[in-house]
């Protein structure tokens, strides 16, 4: 069996876990229709996904392995084009992936991330001081006032982003993850993203600092024997284009487009996923007070909270896109399918996190003592494993612990089921997290 009637993915992501469960029941690979009419295969189930993520027959390079993209049948007009048009380490294949990942990897070693703990604690405490000034009992949106601010401040500092770029980037990233966005708005948002990132690079070339942007610019410019300024940011740098340097960037440390696209990846991944993760941890502890008690009694750690949150609510629901380099057989017996060469592949992290074959029949329940809490794929697996995973875990564990230490009687201001979620089938998080802050600890 190679074809089946496609299932239409909900672009708003309003019930991602019901959708993931349905697709998992259909088999390890299910034909789906993505927003904009593109068909592909959703891969479900933890073990199938693990194998797929390390299979050399699977590529993330649309320019080499997606015929519809190469031939122009799908182009910049596709609402999700930005997810495949970028040319960075996450969309690269084989040796190209190694080349693009190497300049970035040194910034995310465990030692360097551990050294960021004092600054993360300082920023978190500053934000909590601001929250402490809110009159007790007054509802406050904790997503906006804390979960959003903490990773954003850290990412801005890490990448040396000037304050003038903060507001535009916030708006752009929101549109980046909005998978119900119109094609016209998606194109406009992508163009604004490139303009904003070009401005950032020009600023950092003029004002270098001790930050990731400057480091990547240096790696790029030194490979050209002195650099070419921002000359490579012309017509060839937009979504759906080829490499702006004319040689495809092959062999160079980084092409100008690859420089921009790596920064796009690193900033968006370092911001949106961490916000979602922090909100999930807070929400699950507030709606499951017995779980919070386990942590406070020393029977589980804040790190356990983070892992269980990652398992149960992966910050990214689906991973777009991969492509079959050759025909790939998936499953056995009646569930056997063949993913044809050149077909798009979508990885369902939501399916893996609640796979009953791994996490048991109660996989939908939040349990910080769950033996399999760390056996998730929310940061990927194999060569494309998320470089920022250690930093995201640290930001979340530190931030959530300090929050509950400062406000031990924190409580939700709305019912959990009434909390609005991000309208996206890629980003998995809350749009708002209204709470009431109570600083004093109850007696008894």
Residue from 147, 255, 395, 413 carrying the catalytic annotation = 395
| Residue 395 designated active-site | yes
Report DSSP state, residue 388.
T
Q: Are 350 and 16 in contact (CB under 8 A)?
A: yes
The answer to whether 229 and 67 have CB atoms below 8 angstroms apart is no
Q: Which of 124, 186, 269, 396 is catalytic?
A: 269
Helices (H), 106-255: 110-114, 117-132, 142, 149-159, 166-176, 183-206, 212-222
Rg (the chain; Cα; Å): 22
What is the distance between the terminal CA atoms of the chain, rounded to a whole angstrom? 64
Is 324 assigned a catalytic role?
A: no
85 a catalytic residue: no
Nearest to 84 by CA among 68, 48, 57, 60: 60
Given 386, 392, 396, 413, which residue is catalytic?
386
How far is it, in rounded angstroms, from Cα 364 to Cα 374?
Answer: 15
- Count CA atoms closer than 13 A to 375's CA, side-chain side: 15
Query: What single string gives the DSSP state of each residue in 103-142?
Result: HHHGGG-HHHHHTTHHHHHHHHHHHHHHHHTSPTT-EEEH
Q: Which of 274, 351, 378, 427 is catalytic?
A: 274
CB 383 within 8 A of CB 97: yes
Q: Is 184 a catalytic residue?
A: no
Q: Which of 29, 20, 33, 23 is nearest to 49 (CA)?
A: 29
Q: φ, ψ for residue 334 (rounded to 5)?
A: -70, -20
Give the burial string for 360-388 (b: 16+ CB within 10 Å, else e): eeebeebbbebebbebbbbbbbeebebbb
Q: Which of 256, 272, 284, 313 is catalytic?
A: 272
Catalytic residues: 269, 272, 274, 386, 395
């Amino acid at each position: 069996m190679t074809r089946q009637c496609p299932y239409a993915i909900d672009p708003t992501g309003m019930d991602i876990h019901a959708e993931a469960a349905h697709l998992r029941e259909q088999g390890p690979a299910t034909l789906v229709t993505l927003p904009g009419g593109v068909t592909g295969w959703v891969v479900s189930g933890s073990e199938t996904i693990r194998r797929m993520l390390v299979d050399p027959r699977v590529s993330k390079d649309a320019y080499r392995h997606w015929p519809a993209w190469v031939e122009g049948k799908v182009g910049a007009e596709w609402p999700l084009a930005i997810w495949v048009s970028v040319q960075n380490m996450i969309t690269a294949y084989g040796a190209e992936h190694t080349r693009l990942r190497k300049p970035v990897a040194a910034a995310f070693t465990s030692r360097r991330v551990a050294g960021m703990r004092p600054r993360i604690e300082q920023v978190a405490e500053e934000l909590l001081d601001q929250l402490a000034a809110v009159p007790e009992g007054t509802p406050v949106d904790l997503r906006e006032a804390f979960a959003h601010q903490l990773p954003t401040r850290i990412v801005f500092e890490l990448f040396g982003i000037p304050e003038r770029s903060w507001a535009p980037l916030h708006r752009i990233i929101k549109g980046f993850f909005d998978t119900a966005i119109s094609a016209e708005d998606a194109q406009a948002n992508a163009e604004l993203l490139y303009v904003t990132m070009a401005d950032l690079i020009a600023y950092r070339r003029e004002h270098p600092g001790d930050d990731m942007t400057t480091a990547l610019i240096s790696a790029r410019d030194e490979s050209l024997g002195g650099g070419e300024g921002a000359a490579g940011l012309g017509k060839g740098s937009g979504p759906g284009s080829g490499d702006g340097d004319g040689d495809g960037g092959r062999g160079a440390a980084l092409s100008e487009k690859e420089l921009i696209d790596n920064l796009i990846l690193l900033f968006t991944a370092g911001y949106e996923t961490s916000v979602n993760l922090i909100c999930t941890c807070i929400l699950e502890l507030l709606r499951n007070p017995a779980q919070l008690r386990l942590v406070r009694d020393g029977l589980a750690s804040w790190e356990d909270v983070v892992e269980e949150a990652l398992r149960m609510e992966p910050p990214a629901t689906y991973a777009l896109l991969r492509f079959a380099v050759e025909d790939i057989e998936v499953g056995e017996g009646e569930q056997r399918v063949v993913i044809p060469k050149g077909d798009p592949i979508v990885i369902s992290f939501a399916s893996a996190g609640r796979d009953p074959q791994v996490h048991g029949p109660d996989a939908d329940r939040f349990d910080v003592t769950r033996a399999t809490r760390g056996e998730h794929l929310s940061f990927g697996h194999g060569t494309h494993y998320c470089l920022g995973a250690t930093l995201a875990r640290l930001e979340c564990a530190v931030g959530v612990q300090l929050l509950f230490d400062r406000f031990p009687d924190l409580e939700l201001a709305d019912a959990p089921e009434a909390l609005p979620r991000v309208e996206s089938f890629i980003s998995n998080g809350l749009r708002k997290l209204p709470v009431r802050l109570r600083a004093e600890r109850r007696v008894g």
